[in-house]
Amino acid sequence: MKMKIGLEVHVQLTRAGTKLFCGCDSDYRVYATNENVCPVCLGLPGALPVPSKKAVILALAAAMIFNCRIPDAIVFTRKHYFYPDLPKNYQITQYEKAGGAPVCLGGEFEYLDPDTWEWRKVRIRRLNLEEDPGRSVYPEGSIVTSRHVLVDYNRSGVPLLEIVTEPDIPSPRAARAFVEYLLLSLEYIGAVNPRLEGAFRVDANISLEGGERVEIKNIGSTYEVEKALLYEYKRQKLLLENGGQVKRETRHWDAVRRVTKPLRHKEEEEEYLYMPDPDLPPVLTRPLISEAKERLVTLPRHVFEWMTSKGVSREVAWSIVQVQHAAQLYKEALTSGTDPRLLARFIGVDYKGALKDLQKDVHDPGNWPEPAVFRKLVEYVQTGAYPLEAITGIVIPKLAVNPQVNLESILPEKASNVEEVIRIVIKENRKAVNDYLSGRRKALDYLVGQVIRKVGKKAIDPRTVRELLIKILTGERERRERNS
């Protein structure tokens, strides 16, 4: 049954430095309850808002990513509704009607679908820059189960981007891919750290043929975006197939029970009583455009396509692109003499995998070595100084434990008695030797493995082992033939 999905993605500008209309810290998470507040973000009488220049620049840069029409001036609007976490009883946002003008209208965004490696387009209806409300705390579980609510206003006033799409997304999995790529793009322009708790929230609208649109509120992770939409699709499909009706409503995603629950009937826009905020004059955008463009120098798509043009596989390139610091490392480590594919493997597969095995944060720059270290590792393999297996199996795991360690101190000792070890292995594995001499080529792989195992942690090149084995065994075959 065909579905339509549209998203409203609310992204905190966690790297804006301050709240949207006052000087309080945008990183409210480090403060005690109701400590990161002032008269402006508490909505006290007489307090006047002043827009943050950096937040506006970040919003304009986002609008450019989405190829939006940017007005000459943006107008902030009051959106009236009553809720405990909204101290003014209205939210300062943007609206394309009632005299307002949002940051962008009528855009388009392309995201990468990693299942098919295709770029898919989604139309963007608008992008609003608004203030985040405070945070409601439910001491007895959730909004559904708790008998009372507490409010923390530390978050109140944090700059928030509301990105509204048209219903162009074809499936729950595509919705997840869209949000993941959107967040990655905003991270690349320095707007958000999407891994912070509460850094983004998604409201998803889904409708099936024959039913009304249903909104699912406050989905808190990209994984839950897919799960919530998949559940709601199945719920609506079953209802329609049994002759029921899907009514327009707002539902809450219960991530614990993995179900959607009805909250309320969806309000109409007129109920919010939008009006231009009389305390905020229009903000001219043209003087800020050049600063916004500077943030678009490097975007995930640019890096991905540049890496694949170097011969790096799409899978490895995407693994690197998803970690912005890793992408920067790759760019700085790559020189004219460095193998781009081997470098990509070391960064995007081996080292990243080693960090995950150690349960270290791959996004923390402190967990990565300098670019010169990766360049040196590639050089060791290219020149034959150390075999690939020694670098990936011995050096990189040690480096991940302590990325600041002296590289020379963790290089394995080189095996110096390779031919002697080979002759011992030949003597101890006569069946495998006879199998090889009788034409069973796989026996050679077994013998190579036995040599490497006997050498232990010393560095040894499997190619050298193979060549010596073939040379010695060829000599043995010739002696047998002469004696027969």
- For the segment 134-146, the average pLDDT, to the nearest whole number, is 84
Specify whether the CB–CB gap between 454 and 421 falls below 8 A: yes
236: CB partners within 8 A, 6+ apart: 206, 207, 208, 211, 214, 246
Q: Is the pLDDT of residue 282 over 80?
A: yes
- For the segment 311-331, the average pLDDT, to the nearest whole number, is 98
Q: Place 451 in a pLDDT band, splitting at 50, 70 and 90.
A: confident
- The reported pLDDT for the residue numbered 472 is 85
Q: Place 479 in a pLDDT band, splitting at 50, 70 and 90.
A: confident
- The reported pLDDT for the residue numbered 148 is 87
- The reported pLDDT for the residue numbered 305 is 97
- The reported pLDDT for the residue numbered 132 is 95
- For the segment 454-459, the average pLDDT, to the nearest whole number, is 72
- The reported pLDDT for the residue numbered 164 is 96
Instruction: In whole angstroms, give the CA distance from residue 220 to residue 142.
Output: 14
Question: What is the value of pTM for the model shown?
Answer: 0.86
Q: Which amino acid is at 161?
A: L
- For the segment 426-445, the average pLDDT, to the nearest whole number, is 85
- For the segment 313-330, the average pLDDT, to the nearest whole number, is 98
- The reported pLDDT for the residue numbered 369 is 97
Query: Which range among 48-52, 108-112, 199-203, 471-475 shows the weakest confidence by mean pLDDT?
Result: 471-475
Q: Is the pLDDT of residue 236 over 80?
A: yes
Q: Place 448 in a pLDDT band, splitting at 50, 70 and 90.
A: confident
- Give per-residue pLDDT as tens, 386-421: 888 889 999 999 999 999 999 999 988 776 677 778
More confident residue, 389 or 366: 366
Q: Place 264 in a pLDDT band, splitting at 50, 70 and 90.
A: low
- The reported pLDDT for the residue numbered 340 is 97
CATH 2.70.98 matches 418-483: no
> Would you kindly state where each structural domain of the chain is located, as residue ranges?
3-292, 298-410, 418-483
Half-sphere exposure (Cβ direction) of 348: Cα atoms closer than 13 Å? 25
- For the segment 239-253, the average pLDDT, to the nearest whole number, is 91
Q: Is the pLDDT of residue 270 over 70?
A: no
Q: Which of 425, 406, 429 is nearest to 415 (CA)?
A: 425
- The reported pLDDT for the residue numbered 112 is 97
- For the segment 282-305, the average pLDDT, to the nearest whole number, is 95
What percentage of the chain has pLDDT greater than the value 90? 70
Exposed (0-12), middle (13-18) or buried (19+): which is 454, by Cβ within 10 Å? middle
Q: Which of 176, 184, 190 is nearest to 219 (CA)?
A: 176
- Name 283's bridge partners: 74
Instruction: In whole angstroms, give the CA distance from residue 73 to residue 51.
Output: 13
- For the segment 77-85, the average pLDDT, to the nearest whole number, is 90
- For the segment 26-39, the average pLDDT, to the nearest whole number, is 95
Query: Which range among 236-245, 288-297, 475-484 shows the weakest confidence by mean pLDDT?
Result: 475-484
Average pLDDT, the chain: 92
Pairing of strands 214-219, 249-254: parallel
Q: Place 449 in a pLDDT band, splitting at 50, 70 and 90.
A: confident
Query: Which range among 137-141, 204-208, 346-350, 463-467 shows the weakest confidence by mean pLDDT?
Result: 463-467
Q: Is the pLDDT of residue 281 over 90?
A: yes
Q: Is the pLDDT of residue 39 over 70?
A: yes
- For the segment 443-464, the average pLDDT, to the nearest whole number, is 78
